[in-house]
Amino acid sequence: MLTCICIAPALANAEGFFAGGSIGFGEAEIKPGTPLVSLTDDTLASVKGIGGYRVNDYLAVEGSLVGAANDEDNRQEITFAAITGSIMGIIPASPAFEFFGKAGMYLGETEIGNNSSEDESGFLAGAGAFINIGSRRQFTIRFEYEYYDVDELDEFWSFMGGFQYNF
């Protein structure tokens, strides 16, 4: 009985819904030979809204809305917007700290200036860490790296930091 009482707070948030958001930056590399494009890569500001369900201590399903754009400072405008779905594998290091990896798919649009716009879908992968705080671990600070296999761009990745609430 005493063991159950001691372990219960650590497992209180092992499963359930979560929601949150992140901000960060990314790097977009434009495919060689893209018509009327004068730059080869650029830094993009990124934002993301997330929601999902944690199945247990080791597995979660997550969906997100992602947007990224450069500052257009005398350069070609680059934007990326997508809806994503992914499976997350989670490795608890302690009740307060966890690592994760994820893989999934996205459906979105990439635009490069007025010259090129493409609706596309593809693979995404990511990794990061959670810092859980609160008496029930209901608040989570998250840091993550994500890579998107984008058709219009040769490469797009982002690094984000954010917050999530665990219901």
CB-CB contact of 93 with 132 (8 Å): no
Find the Cα–Cα–Cα–Cα dihedral 159, 22, 94, 85, rounded to 10°: -90
Specify the pTM.
0.80
In degrees, rounded to 5, the angle at the alpha carbon of residue 150 between the alpha carbons of residues 73 and 117 is: 60
At 17 the pLDDT is: 96
At 34 the pLDDT is: 60
Which segments of the chain have a pLDDT < 50? 1-12
3-state secondary structure of 5: helix
At 37 the pLDDT is: 53
Instruction: Report all structural domains of the chain as residue ranges with CATH numbers, in order of start.
Output: 19-166 (2.40.160.20)
At 158 the pLDDT is: 93
